[in-house]
Structure 1
Amino acid sequence: MCQCTFELTAVVTFAVASVERTRCQGVAVDDDSPVTFLPEFKKGGCKTIVQAGKLGPVVASESGFVRGVMEAYNNHHDLVLRPDDVWLAILTQFGLYVVANADELRHLLVTHDGQKELTIRSNASLWTADFGAFATQWVDLMDDHVVDPSLKHWLLPSFSTTTDHDVIVASVVLMATMKKYFSYKCGFLCGIPHVTLLGTVDDWKAIRNRLDKLAVYGPRMQEWTTLLAPILDQFVASATGDVDVAFWNSICSHHHAGSGTDYISGWLSVFCVFNDKGEWQGDKRTLYEVRIKPDVDLCALKPGDFFSEEVTLPYPLVDSDCIPPGYLTVDVTLDDNGTERKALMFAGHMGYGIGDDKASIAPRASWAIVLKDGEAAPPTDDELFITKILEQFKVASAANFNPEGDAS
């Protein structure tokens, strides 16, 4: 049984794999806000953290949910999941999709053209303001401009495990999801080896019930809903005590392609179907794996002793380098008594926690608002290389372009 200490009551803890439970070792746990490790923080010229959710020691990660589950799966740690974490993983993927398809989805989400500014006023100062409360107020201001007035009630968590912190995280994620339709401004007036499912059975049923509404947002959402539905059905079944161990053992698998690419699959990949640009990456299900022919001398293998076999998997294959972020960002303008400041809000899974027993992993939701008052990080070597290749490609394409249609 999992011996880690959590304040919330577990609906069920069950054995999954017959492996020895191990302690977490060799991972960098940090007390600092995980937001400082994220690329947007560095590239956006961010420096000062105005306010952030308090997490305590966590392992910083761009994909706290997926990477945390992978860490537990790969290294035989127990896994602790809240309904809020699973729903937030769905919500951030939905956000990536909406941002990437804002024009096509506009008529389903908002009643206006362009980008409408949502402004709130506060008697607080930049350093005393409650930005968590501001996030929920910005979401409330969307009510008069969205097609479905129940949108925020559907998207924001309301489970037995939900805290004010979770609502703030989800609110900022919702702000980021809708950032092509809204801009956000705040004006300060004068100065001042087990899985533990937390929550209740009804919480897990509520996530499953919320899922159906995703389908109205286009064919990709319908496709994603079809993938998610049986997974969430298993969460509900497990919460009631009907545990399908085979399902939980299929949470994550690793595959190596001959080209050198590493993929993850298993049902965890369904939480990775939209990449960091909101583009669908859930179609790849097959790959070729190298096999050794039967009845060959393993001590004297020759090139002809190998063959490739096409393998089709039930879940998407996602390049391990393309695991999407578990968080979203949104720009906010702060009018600090006449001084305008540019800020960036972050929210989502920005890390995962390690239980008191040092043998359990749990995704951790977080949020932060930071000022863009530092120097932007320079491009990495990889980014410079890609930019150079793209420029060379453009030059070559222009040189070979013939208006008459013939290659030069």
Structure 2
Amino acid sequence: MTTALFTCISPTTFASVTILPGAKPKAYTGGRGVASASDFFHQSTPNELWNTSTKPQLILSSYDGSKFSADAGIRPSSDSFVRGAIQAWGEHLHLVIRPDEVWFTILAQMNFYMQANAESVRDLFVTSKRGEKETIRIEAETWYQVISSFQYAIQQKVKTSWLLDWIQPRFTTSTENDGMVANVLMMGLMKTYFNYEGGIICGLPSVTLEGTKADWERLLSKLDRLPLFGTDPTGYRDRLAPILTRFVSSFDAPDSAETKSFWRSIVTATSTHICGAPPYYLSGWILGFQYWDANGQPFARVRGNGTASSFRLDGVVYPSGVSIEDLPAGYARVPFTMDMGYVGGGKVSTMLVAGPLGKKISNGTVPGGYAQALNRSGLAPLGDNLSGHATLQPLSAWGLYGPVDEGEDAKPRRGDNDFEYSELSRAISNGGC
């Protein structure tokens, strides 16, 4: 099964709305993209494929069959929506957002929460006793078919009839690849209750919200299930609701002062040194999407460096003073056992990863709807010279790698992506903000 490299990143494929927060666009001046799927995952999930005694290799991923080119603009990212938004804000890049990446960011956070709290909501999902895990084994003709089938097997095992429909994005922007990303995130959400085994029978100049208003209303309605997971996810729902409500209202009033003010407030950065030198501390509603760290412990609930939050939405206070280097990764990890008996081998311990991974940066481009937004706002027309523009779009991906040490701790790590931290710091310091 293959997935085209550019399946879900065309800014003109879907219905959309474009908002003009007011920053002057700039061209992207960073480095080239990655040249292979292996490089993409080595840099997007560095803790997964580096520094391990088993020397794992990428086995299967979103990008199987794709032809990578360093000039295609595909950049690594450990949390494409949150970190991509920060970079686009810092470098004055047009930002294109799908509801899919926003939803996967929320699901990755819920994976972190369940890592630490799954036992407290066990009765919501399964009838097994505390600490018990049932093995789900699936056999099919290809490993892609094996992995993609777990979502249906899990739904048959759990008591909650709504789980699969809730997790799958199913927006007008959603692709087959998005379905697979959601499938792996679902496996991660339920990994405390199940083992998985398979075998083979053989600052933004513009923001474009892709999809329809109904897509974003559907995303907002998905928050209604979060309180079923416990008190803490209820707080996460309360933090997200004012943000996603304004995503929806952006379709009704994209040119209003209130809408533009909201998008200008996505992120701010301050430095503890003179002249804007690193380290940087972040504030803004984009941090509202990160509620737990990779171990399921509270993240960004209180001030980070002693500064008080100055941003509120509907009475909800959003984090302030969060260091770039403290941002958690945005993907989930799921242990998976490959039974190689069909070729005379044994069982191999591997790991699945999925979430909002990677981002596409395109120089000399603007989002669909940008010219119309300029016209609505009475601003100068776009013109033919786009050399001073660049567009950033968060992506999603999944991958299977192995072998890994049997019984390896399944907790996602912080995502010590020094490359991306440096890129974000450079974006803020060079972006003229």
Q: Does 1:155 align with 2:175?
A: no
What are structure 1's unaligned runs of at least 5 residues?
290-309, 377-382, 384-408
Q: 1:30 to 1:228 in 2, by over 3 A?
A: same
Q: Measure the CA separation in 1 of the matches of 2:234 and 2:301.
A: 14
C-alpha displacement of 1:236? 0.3
Q: Measure the CA separation in 2 of the matches of 1:7 and 1:135.
A: 31
2:348 counterpart residue number? 341
C-alpha displacement of 1:179? 1.2
Q: How does 1:7-406 map to 2 (within 5 A)?
A: 7-17=12-22, 19-33=23-37, 34-37=40-43, 38=45, 39-44=47-52, 45-54=54-63, 56=68, 57=72, 58-113=74-129, 114-122=132-140, 124=141, 129-131=142-144, 133-189=145-201, 191=202, 193-242=205-254, 243=256, 244-256=259-271, 262-285=280-303, 288=306, 312-313=310-311, 314-317=317-320, 318-336=322-340, 337=342, 338-339=344-345, 340-355=347-362, 357=364, 359-372=390-403
What are structure 2's unaligned runs of at least 5 residues?
1-8, 312-316, 366-389, 409-415, 417-433
Q: Measure the CA separation in 1 of the matches of 2:126 and 2:323.
A: 34
C-alpha displacement of 1:240? 3.0
| 8 Å contact from structure 2 (residues 28, 363) kept in 1 | no
TM-score (normalizing by structure 2): 0.74
SS at match of 2:281: strand
1:20-55 residue CA offsets vs partner (Å, 9 max, x unmatched): 211111234113222222212224534322211127
| 8 Å contact from structure 1 (residues 287, 311) kept in 2 | no
SS at match of 2:159: coil
| 8 Å contact from structure 1 (residues 166, 365) kept in 2 | yes
Q: 1:311 to 1:361 in 2, by over 3 A?
A: closer
Q: Measure the CA separation in 1 of the matches of 2:279 and 2:190.
A: 34
C-alpha displacement of 1:147? 2.4
Larger Rg: 1
| 8 Å contact from structure 2 (residues 56, 402) kept in 1 | yes
C-alpha displacement of 1:355? 2.8
| 8 Å contact from structure 2 (residues 309, 319) kept in 1 | no
Paired amino acid for 2:124: L
- Identity, in percent, stands at 28
SS at match of 1:331: strand
Q: Measure the CA separation in 2 of the matches of 1:87 and 1:151.
A: 14
TM-score (normalizing by structure 1): 0.78
C-alpha displacement of 1:330? 0.9
Q: Measure the CA separation in 2 of the matches of 1:217 and 1:373.
A: 31
Q: Measure the CA separation in 1 of the matches of 2:295 and 2:20.
A: 37
Q: How many residues are treated as equivalent by the alignment?
A: 343
CA RMSD of aligned residues (A): 2.4
